[in-house]
Structure formats: structure tokens, C-alpha cells
Chains A and B, each alone.
Chain A
Amino acid sequence: MNWFRRNMIISFMALLLLLLAACSGNNTDTDSNEMRNNDDQENTEESAAENSETTLTFLIDNQTVTDGIEAVAEEVEEKFNITTELELRPGGTEGDNIVKTRLATGEMTDLMWYNSGSLFKALNPEEYFLDLSGQSFMDRIDDTFKETVAVGDGVYGVPGEASSAGGWLYNKKVYEELGLEVPHTWNELMANNDKIKEAGKIPVIASYKDTWTSQLVLLGDYYNVHSENSGFAQQFTNNEAKFASTPSALRGFEKLQALQEAGHYNNEASATGYEDGLEMLANGEAAHYPMLTFALAAIADTFPDKVEDIGFFGQPGENADDHGMTTWMPGGIYVNKDSEHVDAAKKWLEYFISEEGQATYMSVMKANGPYVLKDVELPDDAYTAVKDMTTYIESGNIAPALEFLSPLKGPNLEQITVEVGLGMVSAEEGAEKYDRDVERQAQQLDLEGW
């Protein structure tokens, strides 16, 4: 019996050990997709032994071009002896899963890249991120950006890139060929589309294989909503205004439907992806692509000789004098509240948005739109399409997209806009569906008034 008991205890302990080992497996930094910025690995280890170096981990999605961040990180290492280890994660909703899970389990990196606006606010920032509002370097940041990363009195992030805009990218060569003018009203745009279709080209690209791309006609219309009723975002958040019952907001869904009914989209929309869309636009097979201007970097990357053919205009409304554009705030960089290297992380951010840091950043990255830092101007070699944006900025006809003004953005919007864009449901039905989707989100977020 004694013998038996002893063996029992031993096997029990072995089992416990096994379980413990399994639990702690995730914690090590041997992640396979982790990337060291420092090329010289030995060097890192040597200085680590001297104990004078700090290493910051930085979680970022693999869709963002990281050249600029890497260049700045290299300088940070030279100047402050702070090494940055980038850790890559998928983008989109899958990436949201990873971020949320890692935050909840306390395994977040020191620095984190994430969207600003509604997505960020849904993370419950007060609990996880360091409040930067008291830092002197925050004064350099435009207030419009700060609002998108602020919850209560706290401001939690710095802009990690230039802003971009959501509107219509168009092929200038096709416009020249067909003698078209940039439209300033929706009707002019539809007339252009008709002419483009007659000429045998695709007027508007629908790339519904990547469902997120289907939202742009709706989201990019927000300037027009804002210009008619600047309080919509507030009312929408407070459950006082709905898409289906607000005519100006419903227009976005109706435009999606109008393009479908007029046959302005390409065939095989469900089998066409974002990359295909960029190719069709760049080589002039199609004339328009309702898209975010961050696509310019991708076009420049894949079709470097074509990017200057691409122009931009905001989604027009009814009034030619009130033609504006909807802007997208840049993704932000945030500091993990529970990080062991909070001071180093602050130093990192301060350098990143300093004049020097931004000069380095801009030397390797071209802007997709205006910068949201004070005194940082667009350089002269900006993309043609980005220069097109400056007219709107100068005239003041800009409004941030709804997701930067309200914490609500229904998770099923991209499926709903696909349904409307394919003509499976009408604009009204789509808007009603979306209102219900938003209602569900508000209830899950436990917002007041829902």
C-alpha cells in the first residue's frame, strides 16, 4: 500500500508538471513570426549582458507597411539604446481577436499598433493602456486625432502614420481618353459612369471577395451626411438617429444600390479581390475604385510606373458647391499600462513623433494623406492623388468618417454592404439590417440609452 501511494504521488506530480509546462508554453519569446530589427543579433546579446539595454516588444499587423517604423526604431536604438522587436499579427477581424485575447490574458507587448476610433474605443482602453495626456510631446498632435484615441479624460495613443481619405480613386488616363471631368455631384458621377461603360471599360470596381472593400461607398459618403446634419454621429451614438430613418445617411446605401442597378460594377464581383481591384484600376481596365487612399502605397509598390496616373475625388453629394471628402484617421501606437518598460516606451513615442523621427519616417514612407502632427507638411513628392486631396483640405470641406466620431460600428456591415452591392437586398433593407446590427453591438458594449 505504501509503495502504491508513493507511486501515485509521483505520477500525480508528473502530471501536474506536464500541465504547468503546457500552460506556460505561450509565454516565451520564441514566437516564430517575430522579427528582430537589429540585424546584428550577437551585438544585442552582448549589450544585453551589460544590462544597459532595454528591449521593447511591439505588436503590429502584417498589412501595415512597417518600413517607416523600422527606420525610426533603428535610430531609437542608436540614440537611446532601446531595441524594438516587432511582432507581427494578422490584420482585420482575425487580428482583433488576437489583440483582444492578449489584452485580456495580460500578454500584450510593450507597444501596440491598432486602429484609432471606434475599434480602439471598443477595447476598453482605460483598463489596458497608459494615459499619455500629460506628456509634453502630445502637444504636437492635432486635436482631431486625439479625439479618436481619447476616452474620458485620457488620451492613449500617438499617430503611427499619415491620415488617409475614403473616396474614389480614378484612373486619370481613362478620364483623359474619354474626355471626362472630375464629377462634383452624384449625378455627374453617374453620367461619367455611363460614358465609361459605353466605351467598354468597367466604371466601378466591386471587389467583394475581400468583403471589407464593399463598405467604402457607404463610409466614404459620410462627408455628405455630416454636411447636412453635423450632429448625426452624436445622435447615432445616443440611439436617437438611425440609418434607415435618416435620409442623408440612407443615401450611402442607396448609392451602393444605384451603382448595382445601373450595371456599373464589374462582373464576378464575389471572385474579385482587393489586389485584383488595384490591378484593374492601375492598368486602366476600370476607371473608378471606391477605396481608402492607403491603397496608393500598394499600387506604388506593385505598379510603380502607374501610381501617378491615379487621382482622387471625394464621393460627391447633390450640391456641386459642397463637394467634400471623408477622412480616415491614422492607426495609433499605444503603450501597455502594465509594461515593465513604460519609460522607454514613452521615450520611443516621443522620438517617433519628433521632427527628427518624422523626417526619418518620411524618408522611407510616402504619405497617403495629410499628417495629423502640427507643423508637418506634405512633401512635394507626394502622390498625385494625395495632392488632389489638398483642395478639400484647403477649402475646409472635410469630415472624419463615422467610425472616428462614434464608438459604434456594427461588425456585420461588410456583409450587409455586399448584399446591397450585389442586389440581394434593397438599400432600405440593408440599412435596417445594419441598424439592428449596431443595436446588438451597443447592447453588448452596454452603452447608455440602448
Chain B
Amino acid sequence: MKVNKVYSYALLIPAGLIYGLLFLYPTIVSFFFSFTRWTLTDWEWIGLDNFRMFFEESSLMIGFKNTFIFAFLTAGLKVLLGMVIAVFLTSQMKTKRFIRSTVFFPVLVSTIAVGIAFSVLMHPSEGLINQTLALFGVSGPDWLGNPNLAIYSVALVDVWKGVGIATVIFIAGMMSIPKDYYEAHQIDGGNKVNAFWHITLPLSRPAINAVIILALIGGLRTFDLVWAMTGGGPGFSSDLIASIIYKQYQAGFYGLSTAGNVILFVMVAVIVFPIFKFLNRREVDL
């Protein structure tokens, strides 16, 4: 009995060690350094000054706003579009396999490459998007240069890139719904729209929850796409919390940027935990 217990814990040690060394330890240490003025070699305790300074950061309010817009908009669109595409791709059609891989393809491309490619496509006069619009007599906006539009343009690209994952999760969820329900529904004389609302949608709830949580967390801590496309600009108009933190780090404000990371950590937890609980309760209710 005793040997068995030691044995099972022994198997946990390698993973536990790596987890502790690479995750737990840095997390705890970062909480400490967020209260210091830190030069990487030397630190000085300054209490809550970093947090105060971070909240005073002129572009932080816009960073919070943008991060919320970005996270909820991309998560919402990914769920909606992913659902539509998934329904489409689980139906009886010939090129289904081909389209499935096409939809998933952007997920495999490096985010930075996507960002650079789209910033070229979105060039106000020479970009393919506005040139195509010009063919129809529409003069397209300056997608990334207009401060009011930049964050939405980046969000659209993020949806384009991320919708493949959502689709695949939805397809997996829908495929696992037993055929019996649809047969029963057919015998009762229901149409396809009813089948979607009353069978497919409720029974894909676990998949939907997974997508919402994944997309939301991903959206809240997005950095690379924004950095590659606008660098947070023009000015600070498309800055997200993560890009603000990065800029503080670049400036050599290590304590301050660590404080930013702690704020981001708390924020993601505060937003995602209740949503997670809420969604899971609904799941159980079924």
C-alpha cells in the first residue's frame, strides 16, 4: 500500500517539477517584483507605486476599453461564424472535406505573417481590399490608419484567423450528437430549422462553452497580431493591455511592466471564472 502511494507520487514529480519551476515559481516571483523598482539585477521596494502609475498611464484606459471590445467582439464573431460554417460543413455536400481544411488553414499560419500580410492588404490606396472595393465604386476606409477603425480591423483579421478552431470544435460537437434525435425529429415532421434550434444548438452547448472560454481568454491577452499590424497605433488608439505592458518592458520599466502583468492576470481571472461557472451550470442543467 505504502509503496503504491510513493510510486504514484513519484510519477508526478517530473511534471510537477517542470510546472513548479517554469510556472508556479515565476508567477509568485512576479507578484513580488510588481511591488518593486526593478533593474533585473537590483530591486527596491516601492509598495503600490507601480500599480498606481499603471492606472495613471494615459493610454491605459483606452487599453482596457480596447481589450474588452477586442475580446468580446472576436469571441462573439468566432462563435457565430464558427457555428454557421460548422452547420454548413456537417450537411451533405460534396466538397465538404476540402472546405473544412480551407477553413482551418489560417489557424496554421504564423500570427505575425498574417499580421504583415493583412497590413499590406489593408493599405488605404495600394491594398488589395480597397482596390477591390474601388472596382465597385466604393472608396474603402483607411483600415489601420483611422484611429477609430484600427482596432476593429485588427479584430476582423483575428476572427478570420481564429474561426477555424471554433469551427473544428463545433463540428466535433455536432458529430457526437446521436443520430436518433434527428430521426425522431424527422418522424415528428419537424423541419431543418427546428432541428437546428431544438437539437443541434442545445446539444452542442459543451462545444460552444469551450469556444467561448478559449476565444475570450485568447482575446483578452492578444498581443502579437496587434503588434504586427499597428504597433498599438495610430498613437495609442489600438493599444491593448498586453501591448502597453510590452512597451513598458521595452522602456526598461521592469517592475512597472510586471505590475501590468499581474493586473492582466487578475483581470483575465475575474472575467473568465464567473463566465466559466455560469456556462458550466447551464451545461449541467441540461
Contact = CB atoms under 8 A, between A and B. Distances in A.
A94 B246 CA distance: 10
A8 B253 contact: no
Interface string B227-238: 000011111110
Contact of A269 (B10, B44, B145): B145
A173 interface: no
B76 to A, nearest CB: 27
A208 B53 contact: no
Given A93-B250, A444-B256, A101 B234 contact: no
Interface string B105-121: 00000000000000000
A207 to B, nearest CB: 12
Nearest to B147: A424
Interface in A95-125: 96-97, 100-101, 104-105, 122, 124
A418 B234 contact: yes
Contacts of B125: 268, 271
A46 B38 CA distance: 45
A130 to B, nearest CB: 18
Given A271-B123, A415-B232, A422 B142 contact: no
Given A4-B7, A271-B145, A443 B237 contact: no
Contacts of B59: 412, 415
B236 A127 contact: no
B3 interface: yes
A267 B236 CA distance: 20
A161 interface: no
B124 A94 contact: no
Interface stretch (A27-35, A230-238, A339-347, A433-441): A433-441
A268 B123 CA distance: 9
Contacts of B250: 93-94, 96-97, 411
A15 interface: yes
A201 to B, nearest CB: 17
Contact of B145 (A1, A104, A270, A425): A270
B40 interface: yes
B252 A419 contact: no
B100 interface: no
Nearest to A443: B53
A360 interface: no
A198 interface: no
B14 A15 contact: yes
A268 B142 contact: yes
A370 B150 CA distance: 42
A211 interface: yes
Contacts, number: 99
A446 interface: yes
Nearest to B250: A93
A127 B41 CA distance: 10
Contacts of B233: 208, 211, 270, 415, 418
B17 interface: yes
A354 interface: no
Given A4-B7, A270-B145, A444 B37 contact: yes
Interface in B234-252: 234-237, 247-252
B176 interface: no
A437 B10 CA distance: 52
A1 B3 CA distance: 8
Interface string B178-197: 00000000000000000000
Contacts of B40: 100-101, 104-105
Given A124-B39, A268-B145, A416 B7 contact: no
Contact of A122 (B247, B252, B256): B252
Interface residues of B, number: 42
A11 interface: yes
Q: How large is the interface on A (under 10, 10 to 19, 20 to 34, 35 or more residues)?
A: 35 or more
A284 B167 CA distance: 51
Contacts of A105: 40
Given A15-B14, A101-B40, A415 B236 contact: yes
B144 interface: yes
B58 interface: yes
Interface in B64-115: none
A173 to B, nearest CB: 25
Interface string A402-442: 00000000011001101100101100000001001100110
A225 to B, nearest CB: 23
A425 B59 CA distance: 13
A418 B124 contact: no
A394 B107 CA distance: 61
Interface in A341-381: none
Contact of A424 (B49, B53, B235): B235
Nearest to A433: B58
Contacts of B10: 4, 8
Nearest to A96: B250
B164 interface: no
Contacts of B44: 446
B255 interface: yes
Contacts of A440: 53, 57, 253, 256
Given A1-B3, A104-B40, A411-B251, A419 B53 contact: no
Contacts of A19: 21
B66 to A, nearest CB: 14
Contacts of A101: 40
Contact of B124 (A1, A11, A268): A268
Interface of B: 3, 6-7, 10, 13-14, 17, 21, 37, 39-41, 44, 49, 53, 56-59, 123-125, 142, 144-145, 147, 231-237, 247-253, 255-256
Which 9 interchain pairs have the tightest Cβ spacing? A270-B145, A411-B251, A419-B235, A104-B40, A93-B250, A444-B253, A268-B124, A270-B234, A418-B235
16 contacts: A4-B7, A94-B250, A96-B252, A105-B40, A208-B234, A270-B144, A270-B145, A415-B232, A418-B235, A419-B236, A422-B147, A424-B147, A424-B234, A424-B237, A436-B56, A444-B256
Given A1-B3, A93-B247, A268-B125, 10 more contacts: A11-B14, A96-B250, A208-B234, A267-B124, A271-B123, A411-B248, A415-B235, A419-B235, A424-B237, A444-B252
